[in-house]
Amino acid sequence: MKIAVLGTGYVGLSTGVCLSQIGHQVTCLDINERKINQLRQGISPIYEPNLEELLTSNMAAGRLQFTTSQPEALADAEIIIIAVGTPQGDDGAADLTYLVQAAKEITSYITQETIIVIKSTVPVGTNAVVKKLIEDRTGTTVKMVSNPEFLRQGSAIEDTMKADRIIIGSENELAARKIEEMYQPLNVPVIVTSTKSAEMIKYASNAFLATKISYINEMANLCEAVGANVADVARGMGKDKRIGEAFLNAGIGYGGSCFPKDVKALLHTAEVNGVEFPLLKETIAINERQREWLVAKALKRFGHLSGKKIAMLGLAFKPETDDMREAPSIPISAALSKWGAEVIAYDPVATENAKKLLGDSIKYAGSIAEAVYEADAVFIVTEWNEIKNQDLVEMIRNMKEPIIFDGRNCFSEDEIRACSAIEYYPIGKPSIII
């Protein structure tokens, strides 16, 4: 099938690459010339495992193109997939500016046969609004499909190629069937719903996962208070198939470009529809508190943080990505600076992006060893393998004091006990002081 993908962010680029990988003829369109030029050279603008390999091989096979030219991408596309960003607006609602712009751009290329797929995360009712906008401009009926995306950053390709489900929401049976056919080579279960239900499934899923994280984080705080171990509690809970093991890792709160904005957008949808959703409000409030938890622990330990040198290990909102959006490292470093601490951070890939946000409010190290040198304490903020797999004994050797506040529970009790002197403060588990 001949497919055009609008937007080369995480979702658009991964979708385009994966659809070309399963044999479709894909052209990705973006207004950002620099990005398109980079992509044409086989360079991915984002850090994502396996993306560049699939990008170059499918380009070489002639199945994948990148362009800034609308006619080139859209002229004879059977399917147009809109995957532009829907960032958070000032009032908490999703900002649909890019989506509306994309809808306007495609109008002159749409025929009665074209299927328009909205993959961007959009509030309930948006597909209908876009349909009307295009129909008003073209004077023809258009076929719309809501096809939300569930890939995670850091495993975007794997999540797309081996998705748990594909959601197809449409009022047009033929269009729904065609999109099902497009995905057929992936051999993934397909659920066909109304457009509104498909739009809601995306928000309902993200908000549920965010709530699961806030639940386990609150449970972690209770475990700390009573002396239980949240990792054991999560393991015990997760074995119950009705609960499931995933997304029960306690830590310093969820971040990224999706959960924070999507929970707020769903809450906004509830509010404008006159529905109270106190659970979502608590999910957000718990997350806000959790992001400052390590700082609270450090304040309790030291009494004050003025003049303390804190090594922050990890900056990205999660491992395997250089994305800093809503990363817990941002409020943590701000709080540490506010308390008068000096922060020196290390991240395997996110440092350049972090510099754009944090500037010189903190210092940056080129290695773990450099960051922890003569530090009063270490804050573990992102669970990169490099951080988890480091030799703890070696790491604490050059610290001023061997004190670790681990926001991601990276180390086992055995690893900690192998150190001759250490103070280890994890999340939701008993502290270990040797």
Binding site for ligand UGA (CB under 6 A): 121, 149-153, 206, 209, 213, 247-249, 251, 254-256, 258-259, 317-318
Which residues is 403 bridged to in the sheet? 423
Q: Of 214 and 351, which CB lies nearer to ligand UGA in the complex structure?
A: 214
CB of 368 to ligand UGA, least distance (A): 19
- Classified as helix, coil or strand, 66 is strand
Say which of 18, 28, 223, 258 is annotated catalytic.
258
Q: Which residue has the tokens 């401009």?
A: 137
CB of 9 to ligand UGA, least distance (A): 10
CB of 149 to ligand UGA, least distance (A): 5
Strand pairing class (377-380; 115-118) = unpaired
Q: Of 114 and 127, which CB lies nearer to ligand UGA in the complex structure?
A: 127
Catalytic, 258? Answer yes
C-beta separation of 55 from 65 below 8 A = no
Q: Of 151 and 182, which CB lies nearer to ligand UGA in the complex structure?
A: 151
C-beta separation of 434 from 419 below 8 A = yes
Q: Which residue has the tokens 């999910």?
A: 283
Q: Of 17 and 134, which CB lies nearer to ligand UGA in the complex structure?
A: 17
The rounded distance, in Å, linking the Cα atoms of 275 and 278 is 10
Query: What DSSP string describes 185-225?
Result: GG---EEEE-HHHHHHHHHHHHHHHHHHHHHHHHHHHHHHH
- CA torsion through residues 210, 214, 219, 223, sign: positive
Q: Of 251 and 428, which CB lies nearer to ligand UGA in the complex structure?
A: 251
C-beta separation of 354 from 315 below 8 A = yes
CB of 76 to ligand UGA, least distance (A): 30
Burial class (CB in 10 A: 0-12, 13-18, 19+), 95: middle
Catalytic residues: 258
